[in-house]
Amino acid sequence: MAAAGRSWGRYPVTTEKVVALSDRHASLPKSDVPVLPLGNARSYGDSCLNDGGVLLAARGLDHFIAFDPASGTLTCEAGVLFSEILDLAVPQGWFLPVTPGTRFVTVGGAIANDVHGKNHHRAGTFGHHVLAFELLRTDGTRLRCTPTENAEWFAATVGGLGLTGVVTWAAIQLRRIAGPWMSAENHRFGNLSEFFELSRASDRDYEYTVSWIDCVASGKALGRGLFSRANHAPASPDSRPAAGNRTLGVPFTPPISLINPLSLRAFNQLYYHRQRKSVVHATTHYQPFFYPLDSIANWNRIYGPRGFLQYQCVVPPEAAETAMAELVSTISAGGAGSFLAVLKQFGDKPSPGMLSFPRPGATLALDFPNGGAPTLALLDRLDAIVDGVGGAVYPAKDARMSGAHFRRYFPQWEAFSRFVDPGISSSFWRRVTE
């Protein structure tokens, strides 16, 4: 079956043949053109696309294999979604050790991008909690990889962008919780240095921290926002608000982007002022806390048929404050700002993968409606700032960084390329290496 490939950013649009995998014991289908494993296509750019090639849809590998409710170790096939793990584990007192901002990602996709969450400063990346997995190469070789067994293959595959082979199953260590509730606090901050202060003061006592910043505001309000910090709540919190249900959806793609300078300014204003007090405490269910966007199905369609571009970068600690100010003022001046800009301090834990994105410093993520050349030019300006201070850009969210930048952001790329399966390639990999 030939299909128009689309990642979550709906840009770029590619053409590939999609072949579904459904049996982890079966060998991979033979192919004359390069293949690429595909998870749930929640990456934004072209790292999960393979123009002119084959996508091996691993979502069909969706069986649980073993779960020990006493120790919290879970073994499952690589196409199992985080949402399915939560449905299984939360009622039994276990939670994902690390989760991105959507629960609709697969275990294989989470490994291949070595994803991070709001607890990076405590827990590191998802790869830190992967106990073992099986890697199936296109030549039929199967390797059991753990941090100590086939360790170099483990390090290449965690964060390896699907290029080293297909992960068929993985064993992960879950984290104990008392119940599904979070006790959270939101603090309003007036500028970037207040953010860094709040972050320093919170990272020790709060397992989860993240901020939203208003990237339309400029001048004295540059970098104002809301800082959220939270811990898992004890079993019976004082109040029990209802869990968020899926009630909204964007059923079709509007002919033009609904995100424009006007709606952006209004949204950012409203969001910043949505809490009247500067600090608000609340007990919430984990779903709205971790996955606010998951309650709006297909929210990515609001950007219209041209799609959008995400941009996530990290800048090292010593340069963080100045580089962030420069990034935010460049974005604010461009006026193309973002619906949801997210700012967080990463911790110091070295990432387990050769191409893992997380590293010490501050990370900023935002999205831009695809406005063609001006948008790309703005992102190039951001790259110049990030590159100038020795930072990096996240491949999972990228559709446009230059090969030269990629190779500087990920100096291990050459050592990594020895592990790339000769039968596998991606649009992203060709773009940054050829």
Partner 1 sequence: MQRVLIIGATSAIAEATARIYAERGSRLHLVARSADRLKTITEDLRIRGAAEIGHGSLDVNDVSAHAAVLDAAWADLGDVDVVLIAHGTLPDQKACEASVETALAEFATNATSTIALLTLISNRMQQARRGSIAVISSVAGDRGRSSNYLYGSAKAAVSAFLSGLRQRMARHGVDVITIKPGFVDTPMTREFKKGALWAKPEAIASGIVKAVDKGRSVAYLPWFWFGIMTIIRSIPEFLFKRLSL
Contacts with partner 1, residue ranges (CB under 8 A)? 1-3, 19-20, 22-25, 63-67, 88
Cα–Cα distance, 213 to 172 (Å, whole number): 33
123 binds, among ligand FAD, partner 1, none (CB under 5 to 8 A by kind): none
293 binds, among partner 1, ligand FAD, none (CB under 5 to 8 A by kind): ligand FAD
- Tell me the angle at which helices 320-334 and 373-388 cross, rounded to the nearest 10 degrees: 170
Quote the strand ranges of 214-360, DSSP E.
225-232, 248-249, 279-285, 296-297, 308-315, 341-346
108 binds, among ligand FAD, partner 1, none (CB under 5 to 8 A by kind): ligand FAD
63 binds, among ligand FAD, partner 1, none (CB under 5 to 8 A by kind): partner 1
CB of 429 to ligand FAD, least distance (A): 9
Q: Which residues bind ligand FAD (CB under 6 A)?
A: 8, 36-43, 47-48, 58, 78, 100-102, 105-106, 108-110, 112-113, 115-117, 161-162, 166-167, 293, 396
CB of 361 to ligand FAD, least distance (A): 15
Cα–Cα distance, 56 to 142 (Å, whole number): 17
Which residue lies nearer to ligand FAD by CB, 36 or 86?
Answer: 36
Cα–Cα distance, 360 to 40 (Å, whole number): 28
40 binds, among ligand FAD, partner 1, none (CB under 5 to 8 A by kind): ligand FAD
3-class state of residue 211 by DSSP:
strand
CB of 333 to ligand FAD, least distance (A): 26
CB of 177 to partner 1, least distance (A): 19
Structure tokens at 362: 């501050």
Which residue lies nearer to partner 1 by CB, 62 or 185?
Answer: 62
20 binds, among ligand FAD, partner 1, none (CB under 5 to 8 A by kind): partner 1
Which residue lies nearer to ligand FAD by CB, 38 or 319?
Answer: 38
Which residue lies nearer to partner 1 by CB, 89 or 111?
Answer: 89
Could you tell me which residues come within 8 angstroms of residue 357 by beta carbon, excluding any fewer than 6 positions away? 113, 114, 116, 159, 312, 314, 351, 392, 394, 395, 396
CA dihedral for 330, 335, 336, 339, sign (positive or negative): positive
Residue 432 half-sphere exposure, CB side, CA atoms within 13 Å?
26
109 binds, among ligand FAD, partner 1, none (CB under 5 to 8 A by kind): ligand FAD
CB of 110 to ligand FAD, least distance (A): 6
Q: Is 203 exposed, middle or buried (0-12, 13-18, 19+ CB in 10 A)?
A: middle
CB of 117 to ligand FAD, least distance (A): 6
Which residue lies nearer to ligand FAD by CB, 47 or 228?
Answer: 47
Which residue lies nearer to partner 1 by CB, 251 or 372?
Answer: 251
Q: Is 20 exposed, middle or buried (0-12, 13-18, 19+ CB in 10 A)?
A: middle
CB of 170 to ligand FAD, least distance (A): 9
Cα–Cα distance, 416 to 325 (Å, whole number): 33
13 binds, among ligand FAD, partner 1, none (CB under 5 to 8 A by kind): none
3-class state of residue 82 by DSSP:
helix
Which residue lies nearer to partner 1 by CB, 38 or 184?
Answer: 38
3-class state of residue 183 by DSSP:
strand
CA torsion angle 148 57 117 366 (round to 10):
140
CB of 55 to ligand FAD, least distance (A): 8
Amino acid at 369: P
Which residue lies nearer to ligand FAD by CB, 168 or 191?
Answer: 168
